């Protein structure tokens, strides 16, 4: 009774990000399409050989994507948006949909090193001049300049891939859409793998998930009504795969882990009856439990079910009990979206009873695609032997899957290897340098009182008005100023040892002094130091807090050519020394105006790193909160009266199931409040958020009890403020008055109009005037021109309101 082994997908980028660099060369016109395709073929064959060498029974084909697998599906289905259609779709068509341009037709293709961008979990694109090695978690890359071909060349929008840090190109649907198999990539890659001698399992995004993850671009119809037409194309795809001799196809329907409305869930039965073919279907789910949908799932015309047992191990018993007797159960026990070594001994014990029941109908797999994991741990020789023994990247996870399969088949050698492999995990659980008594003691002493400021908002506001002495409509910025090429070159030189510590510090102080001088010339009311010392708002804190490990090659794809390198939480987190105090106090020493301290919040740091698996996310957030709480205390003791704690990721950290939102938001809000609660009444706490809507979390936003919240509103023409108005939000608000992601300079009159609109919803006494977001990606010329108009607009309205009073 052989246990078959497989993975749901492998990283596409290459161990040295070969795909990224070749794509960008192609977009710049430096390599041909043939050269690009050759690199893609080399990467696929290497990935397949990795899987085969490890002993997997199948290799995954169709998991490779030039930009994004959902976009690949769009072309496969012949579903290219009309503005991008130009005959039969080709590779340049794909890039045009994703980037808003094509190699062949757009004269601005030289700006490819930074692609179109998505901000958090919205569908908004941004423009950025960030270099590839900056690893800015807060951005997902973007074009330095937009394509000038007009609106018909606009890219399709981006969105979060469920609750991961991957982003997909959102399909667009109109009521007259048709679908026809048009893009041969899947079939070519199946042939390529077969010719290389591999047993192939094609990977295909399912029809219901494809529809669900898209959006209607015209009113008056429901995209679910397109399902019958879409299924015709899926019939053709499966028929083609059958002719290629494919035995099993992996059809991904990750939306089955969501709380689906009845029409969507009911559509699965008919859909899978219609596309039934000679190819066996492994219905694949991941990221959460499918128990809610299980009664519907077991009625489907498929041949097996994959479940994610890393995200939801408790579903195994119920799924195994209800599984049709002729189905395969693929157990996703090796976590595909983290970096930790699997406890193979524990997984072996978990699966033994299922193996006894199902025999060879039990398969072993990764929990999800390994594209969410770095490629190869062997590329990190600088890590200590101990730390290396804790991790497994994609290549190592393939080996874990294969080894567990052999152990389930009774191989004594494999069982012993599993025990040896897992022993190091057990040793780590008791290590005092991982689980630190001093941190545990602080966690155990957290009480509700630790989350509360020492005075209510109204009382704090009175103290702050007296201490800060700010005018009506105070002006400020969100925190960062342009990261110039000079800053990046100096940072690179410092990291490579070409600049000494003293030389680098001197250079950074020069940039800070320059930023302060420019802000004073603009006559801003509250200044910032500009963050020249930070390459990334999360990695900077990870590098300066004990309990984190950074890597050199731990890159994962965000989408397209954009990769990020998350830090890893490896131990209890603590602050061993002040992190930002030196820079903020230096900046404050240069001006008599108020200087704002800048921190990244605990939930955002958590969401943008690889977390530990041996403790809860709440515990990690609380550890981060306590560390940041100490930083807040030191900042205010050093004379910093305004401190901003950014939490752009609170909303994106929401669990997939709405019933789990409340518990998450409670501990997320508490973590922020623990961070801020050490502030004295006269210390003003700001936070910044960038979301497309606030309605579903407005209670939690209010519960943060920040003295001032700054938000992105200029694109919505202040419509986002409705949520705050209807909620009667009690504290101060800084609605963004211009879009920092555009190179356009807002006029004074335009900004005045937006402030007046804001004042219709929020009392003028509680309004701040600021840009939408940080200015890291803009140049100084754009920045100063925009801020000058912003300050003039605020002064004009200040005068008008004073005269009216």
Q: Pick the catalytic residue from 306, 372, 686, 741.
A: 741
Residue 778 CA to residue 739 CA, distance in Å, equals: 11
For residue 111, the model assigns a pLDDT of 29
How big is the CA angle at 335 (ends 329 and 341), to the nearest 5 degrees? Answer: 125
Residue 6 CA to residue 333 CA, distance in Å, equals: 11
DSSP class of 109: T
For residue 427, the model assigns a pLDDT of 84
Q: Is the pLDDT of residue 203 over 80?
A: yes
Binding-site sequence positions for Zn(2+): 688, 690, 712, 773
pLDDT, tens only, 474-520: 999 999 999 999 999 999 999 999 999 999 999 999 999 999 999 99
Contact 247, 204 (CB under 8 A): no
- Which among 704, 694, 713, 592 is positioned nearest to 644, based on CA atoms? 704
Binding-site sequence positions for 5-methyltetrahydropteroyltri-L-glutamate: 17-20, 160, 165, 562-563, 608, 652
For residue 153, the model assigns a pLDDT of 61
Beta strands in 161-265 (DSSP E): 167-169, 172-173, 200-205, 215-216, 248-252
More confident residue, 80 or 124: 80
- Place 717 in a pLDDT band, splitting at 50, 70 and 90: confident
Give me the phi and psi of 548, to 5 degrees please: -110, 155
For residue 411, the model assigns a pLDDT of 97
More confident residue, 569 or 1: 569
Which SS3 state, helix, strand or coil, does residue 291 take? helix
CATH architecture classification, 5-89+166-429: Alpha-Beta Barrel (3.20)
Residue 569 CA to residue 323 CA, distance in Å, equals: 37
Contact 786, 752 (CB under 8 A): no
Q: Catalytic residue at 741? A: yes
Contact 47, 411 (CB under 8 A): no
pLDDT, tens only, 128-155: 333 334 443 443 333 223 333 334 468 8
For residue 692, the model assigns a pLDDT of 61
CA 58 to chain CA centroid, Å, is: 29
pLDDT, tens only, 595-639: 999 999 999 999 999 999 999 999 999 999 999 999 999 999 999
Contact 145, 743 (CB under 8 A): yes
**pLDDT (mean) for 670-696:** 91
Task: List own/partner pairs for 723-727 with CB under 8 A and 24 or more apart.
Answer: 723/693, 723/694, 723/695, 723/698, 724/694, 724/698, 724/761, 724/762, 725/761, 725/762, 727/698, 727/699, 727/702
Binding-site sequence positions for L-homocysteine: 478-480, 531, 646
Binding-site sequence positions: 17-20, 160, 165, 478-480, 531, 562-563, 608, 646, 652, 688, 690, 712, 773
**pLDDT (mean) for 191-195:** 98
Range(s) within the chain of domains with CATH label 3.20.20.210? 5-89+166-429, 455-477+523-532+574-804
- Place 245 in a pLDDT band, splitting at 50, 70 and 90: very high
pTM of the model: 0.91
For the chain, the first-to-last Cα distance in angstroms comes to 85
pLDDT, tens only, 294-325: 999 999 999 999 999 999 999 999 999 999 99
Alpha-carbon distances of 708 from 460, 702, 704, rounded to whole Å: 12, 10, 10
- Which among 605, 609, 642 is positioned nearest to 626, based on CA atoms? 605
Residue 406 CA to residue 348 CA, distance in Å, equals: 10
Fold of 455-477+523-532+574-804: TIM Barrel (3.20.20)
For residue 145, the model assigns a pLDDT of 30
Residue 633 CA to residue 455 CA, distance in Å, equals: 16
Binding-site sequence positions for L-methionine: 478-480, 531, 646
Q: Is the pLDDT of residue 61 over 60?
A: yes
562, HSE (Cβ side, Cα atoms, 13 Å): 29
Alpha-carbon distances of 186 from 91, 249, 410, 506, 615, rounded to whole Å: 13, 12, 36, 54, 40
pLDDT, tens only, 639-670: 999 999 999 889 889 999 999 999 999 999 99
- Place 431 in a pLDDT band, splitting at 50, 70 and 90: confident
Which element (helix H / strand E) includes 599?
Answer: strand 594-600
DSSP collapsed to 3 states, 444-464: HCCCHHHHCCCCCHHHHHHHH
Contact 311, 336 (CB under 8 A): no
Return mean pLDDT, the chain.
Answer: 91
Q: Is the pLDDT of residue 355 over 70?
A: yes
Contact 155, 97 (CB under 8 A): yes
């Amino acid at each position: 009774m052989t246990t078959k082994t497989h993975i749901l997908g492998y990283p596409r980028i290459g161990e040295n990000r070969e795909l990224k660099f070749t794509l960008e060369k192609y977009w710049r016109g430096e390599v041909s399409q043939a050269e690009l395709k050759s690199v893609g073929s080399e990467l696929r064959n290497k990935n397949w050989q990795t899987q085969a060498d490890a002993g997997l029974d199948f290799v995954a084909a169709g998991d490779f994507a030039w930009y994004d697998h959902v976009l690949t599906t769009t072309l496969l289905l012949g579903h290219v948006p009309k503005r991008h259609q130009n005959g039969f779709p080709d590779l340049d068509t794909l890039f045009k949909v994703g980037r808003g341009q094509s190699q062949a037709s757009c004269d601005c293709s030289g700006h490819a090193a930074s692609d179109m961008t998505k901000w958090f979990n919205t569908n908004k694109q941004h423009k950025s001049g960030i270099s590839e090695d900056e690893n800015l978690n807060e951005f997902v890359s973007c074009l330095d300049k937009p394509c000038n071909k007009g609106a018909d060349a606009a890219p399709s929008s981006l969105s979060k891939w469920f609750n991961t840090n991957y982003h997909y190109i959102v399909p667009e649907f109109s009521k007259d859409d048709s679908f026809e198999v048009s893009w041969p990539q899947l079939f070519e890659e199946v042939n390529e793998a077969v010719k290389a001698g591999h047993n192939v399992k094609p990977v295909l995004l399912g029809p219901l998930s494809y529809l669900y993850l898209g959006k209607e671009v015209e009113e008056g119809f429901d995209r679910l009504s397109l399902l019958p037409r879409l299924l015709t194309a899926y019939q053709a795809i499966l028929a083609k795969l059958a002719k290629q001799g494919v035995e099993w196809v992996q059809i991904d329907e990750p939306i089955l882990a969501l709380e689906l409305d009845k029409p969507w869930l009911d559509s699965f039965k008919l859909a899978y009856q219609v596309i039934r073919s000679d190819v066996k279907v492994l219905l694949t789910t991941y990221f959460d439990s499918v128990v809610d949908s299980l009664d519907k799932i077991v009625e489907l015309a498929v041949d097996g079910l994959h479940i994610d047992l890393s995200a939801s191990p408790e579903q195994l018993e119920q799924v195994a009990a209800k599984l049709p007797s002729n189905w395969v159960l693929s157990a996703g026990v090796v976590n595909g979206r983290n970096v930790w070594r699997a406890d193979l001994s524990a997984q072996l014990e978990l699966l033994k009873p299922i193996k006894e029941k199902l025999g060879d109908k039990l398969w072993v797999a990764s929990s999800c695609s390994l594209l969410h994991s770095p490629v190869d741990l062997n590329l990190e020789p600088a890590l200590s032997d101990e730390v290396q023994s804790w991790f497994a990247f994609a290549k190592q996870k393939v080996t874990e899957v294969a080894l567990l399969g052999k152990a389930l088949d009774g191989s004594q050698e494999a069982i012993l290897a599993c025990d040896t492999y897992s022993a190091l995990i057990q040793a780590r659980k008791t290590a005092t340098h991982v689980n630190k008594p001093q941190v545990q003691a602080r966690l155990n002493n957290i009480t509700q009182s630790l989350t509360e400021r020492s005075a209510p908002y109204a009382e704090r506001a009175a103290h702050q008005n007296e201490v800060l002495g700010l005018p009506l409509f105070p002006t400020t910025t969100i925190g960062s100023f342009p990261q110039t090429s000079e800053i990046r070159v100096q940072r690179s030189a410092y990291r490579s040892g070409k600049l000494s510590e003293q030389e680098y510090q001197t250079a950074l102080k020069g940039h800070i002094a320059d930023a302060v001088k420019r802000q004073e010339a603009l006559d801003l009311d509250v200044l910032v130091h500009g963050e020249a010392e930070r390459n990334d708002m999360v990695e900077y804190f990870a590098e300066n807090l004990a309990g984190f490990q950074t890597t050199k090659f731990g890159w994962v794809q965000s989408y397209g050519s954009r990769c990020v390198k998350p830090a890893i939480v490896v131990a209890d987190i603590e602050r061993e020394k002040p992190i930002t105090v030196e820079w903020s106090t230096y900046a404050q020493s240069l001006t008599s105006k108020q200087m704002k301290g800048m921190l990244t919040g605990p939930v955002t740091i958590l969401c943008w790193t690889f977390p530990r698996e041996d403790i809860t996310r709440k515990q990690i957030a609380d550890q981060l909160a306590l560390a940041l709480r100490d930083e807040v205390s030191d900042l205010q003791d050093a004379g910093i009266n305004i401190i901003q704690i950014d939490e752009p990721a609170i909303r994106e950290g929401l669990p997939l199931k709405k019933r789990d939102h409340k518990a998450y938001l409670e501990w997320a809000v508490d973590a922020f409040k623990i961070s801020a609660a050490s502030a004295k009444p006269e210390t003003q706490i700001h936070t910044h958020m960038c979301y497309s809507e606030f309605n579903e979390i407005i209670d939690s936003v209010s519960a943060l009890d920040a003295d001032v919240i700054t938000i992105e509103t200029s694109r919505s023409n202040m419509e986002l403020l409705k949520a705050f108005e209807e909620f009667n939000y009690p504290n101060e608000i800084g609605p963004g008055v211009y879009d920092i992601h555009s190179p356009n300079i807002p006029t004074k009159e335009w900004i005045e109009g937006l402030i007046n609109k804001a004042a219709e919803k929020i009392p003028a006494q509680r309004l701040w005037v600021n840009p939408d977001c940080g200015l890291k990606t803009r140049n100084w010329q754009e920045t100063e021109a925009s801020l000058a108009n912003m300050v003039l607009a605020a002064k004009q309205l200040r005068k008008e309101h004073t005269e009216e009073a």
